[in-house]
Amino acid sequence: MQTRLLLYGFALWIAGAAALRVAGQRVFHPENPASTLILFALSFPLMAWTARRLLRGSRLRIENWPAGAVSLVMPTLLLDALSAAFFPRVYPNIPASAEGIFGGWMLWLCAAAFSGAMLGRKRA
């Protein structure tokens, strides 16, 4: 486990959770599938780029980037599982009908981080 990347992942999780607590109702629109597709489409390359940048700055050898990505996404995988289980209490400002979108988006972001770790290795 890469402690520095784990801390970055935790910081990203805190920032994201705080942003969703403040403005999550503007992010999720379960009644509008097009907005969900746009959210997913925009966030994938952004998260892949973010993960690649953090991995590049971590001083890990390129062949260890996938393991570093595990450290980076671990807080999201653990803490957002709890957030999803208690979604209405954790995010009272977001419609409960957006719970599935939230869970899918978290998985999507983790997949993007892993993709950034794998695809970015050739360019680094």
pLDDT tens per residue across all 124 residues of the chain:
799 999 999 999 999 999 999 999 999 999 999 999 999 999 999 999 999 999 999 989 999 999 999 999 999 999 999 999 999 999 999 999 999 999 999 999 999 999 999 985 555 4
Amino acid occupying residue 101: I
In a domain, 124, yes or no: no
In a domain, 40, yes or no: yes
pTM: 0.91
Q: How many domains does the chain have?
A: 1
Asked if 86 and 17 touch (Cβ cutoff 8 Å), the reply is: no
Asked if 69 and 55 touch (Cβ cutoff 8 Å), the reply is: yes
- 42: containing domain: 3-119
